[in-house]
Amino acid sequence: MGIALFFGIRQFEITAFDSSALGLALWMVYWWITQPVPLYLTALLPIAVGVPFALIPNDILAQSYGNQMIFLFLGGFILALGIEKWKLHEQIAFSILRLFGRSPQRIIGGFMVSTALLSMWISNTATALMMLPIAMSVIQAIPRFREKRLFSIGLLLSIAFSANIGGTATLIGTPPNIQMAGILEQEFGMSISFFEWFLIGTPFMLIMLLITFFTVRFYFIKNAKFEMGAIEPRKLDPNQKRVLYLFLTVVGLWMGRTLLNDYMSIVINDTVIALSGAILLFVLPSTEKRPLLIWEDLTQLPWGILFLFGGGMALAAILAEANIVSFLVDVMKPLAGFPIFILLLVIFTVALFATELMSNLALVSLLIPLIAKFALELDLPLLGISAGVALSASCAFMLPVATPPNAIIYSSNMIKIKEMVKYGFLLNLIASLVVTCVIYVLFFI
């Protein structure tokens, strides 16, 4: 393979234009990995460098940073802020915990379901931040027993794992999903609806969550025996009800959009629905005689990640314009001789473990244009291969630096690095196999 790569490079004529584009890509990758500046600033290099060197036309640059998928995520962020402001997510979490019961495995199961469910709709960072203090209070409340520390580690790790897994189910649940959808729409003309992704992400999420639960139960709670005190029921206040009804309406419209468009004279998309729901939060009144959200609430919105989306899409466009993606696809063509299942397993495993070292959003920005073009060249399902890469990029369980939930749980000072690496590595292997199986069944059988 090394000789083939050498001759492939010798035979491929790289022009000065191509070299400049490749240099910018390597620069961004280096900064995304080493992070001498914030990730979000690196994402602005296509503007600062790409425009002066004529690496990307102005119209494509504008489309990259103004892609409708970015505004879909913005709408999702604002809806999540409404949920967080009125503490609706805490009500949901406590209701699920109360429903599941008070034995060790039921507590773990309740935390995992709560975390995954919330992570489908609000950022996995916010979900982990919210669930950590609840978990710490549970740990303090449970009676002393011989394996209490082991149970505590399992409970905390289950939150990190579930926060990463839960976001894979929806298009807005985790940044790699929306980034993949944006690149496919911009570079390959393929549009993915909220419902279409839900049909792909949900089976993976459910299977992975179930396997993770049994893994955690086997290693951490098989000998744990205690009974927690009862959790008192909580009632939703009027503001929480208003946010909940609006949120459920938005989700219902996302799910039934295609059917609605068949009967309406106007056509709406997922972005329109998300932004309409977000705007209504600034219109609907609260019991405090102010809107449910005010503009000052948006200071908590992670604006930088929107630049990261745009920078990734701009980089994908630059690589395509410079023919670098086509060149790399030619280099990868010998992989076409592998059986499909093995080929998928190799691609998804590489993507998953690479996510441990760099931002999953940056990884998707680099890999999706390459893998998508590779899929088209070999007449493989474009959505299937791309979805597998996006799912893999969300399954980094080994290191605190890999994802924000990992870092948040590690900050509790109750988990050692070697413990996270040990159990995270096992789940990484399981996740790469599960992603491969789900994509193979959905797209190749």
The C-alpha atoms of residue 267 and residue 280 are separated, in whole angstroms, by 20
Tell me what pLDDT residue 202 has.
94
Q: Select from 417, 427, 419 the least CA-distant residue to 392.
A: 427
For residue 44, being part of any structural domain is answered with no
- Specify if 38 maps to a domain: no
235 burial class (0-12, 13-18, 19+ CB within 10 angstroms)?
exposed
How does pLDDT run along the chain (445 residues), one tens digit per residue? Answer: 333 333 333 344 443 345 788 888 889 878 877 778 887 888 899 999 888 888 888 888 998 898 887 888 788 888 888 988 888 877 877 777 777 777 788 888 888 998 998 888 877 777 887 788 788 877 777 767 667 788 888 889 999 999 999 989 988 888 888 889 988 988 888 888 888 999 999 999 999 999 999 998 888 877 666 565 566 667 888 999 999 999 889 888 888 887 887 787 787 888 888 899 999 999 999 998 899 999 999 888 878 878 887 888 888 888 777 777 677 777 777 777 789 999 999 889 988 888 877 777 778 888 888 888 888 888 889 999 999 999 998 888 887 767 778 878 887 778 888 888 888 899 999 999 999 999 999 998 8
pLDDT at position 335 is 77
Per-residue confidence (pLDDT) for residue 121, from 0 to 100 = 84
3-class secondary-structure state, position 102? coil
* Stated pTM of the model: 0.77
Q: How far is CA 87 from CA 81, 180, 216, 267, 302, in A?
A: 10, 31, 28, 34, 19
155 within a domain of the structure (yes/no):
yes
Q: Does some domain include residue 8?
A: no
- For residue 337, being part of any structural domain is answered with yes
Cα separation of the two ends of the chain: 30
Cβ-count burial 84-105 (b if 16+ within 10 Å, e if not): bbbebbbbbbbbbbeebebebb
In this structure, is residue 317 part of a structural domain? yes
Task: Output the six-digit token pair for 300.
Answer: 């908590």
| pLDDT for position 233 | 66
Contact 397, 174 (CB under 8 A): no
Q: How far from 374 is each of 24, 200, 331, 378, 383, CA to CA, in Å?
A: 22, 21, 10, 6, 12
Residue indicated by tokens 């789900």: 438
Query: Cβ distance 174 to 124 under 8 Å?
Result: yes
Structural domain includes residue 280: yes
Alpha carbon distances (Å) from 155 to 183, 212, 224, 302, 378: 36, 12, 12, 28, 44
Q: Let me know if residue 41 belongs to a domain.
A: no
- The pLDDT assigned to 392 comes to 92
The residue range of the domain holding 434 is: 57-444
Q: What is the pLDDT of residue 278?
A: 92
DSSP assignments along 257-309, one per residue: HHHHHHH-SS---HHHHHHHHHHHHTTSB-TTSSBSS-GGGGGGS-THHHHHH
What is the count of structural domains for the chain?
1
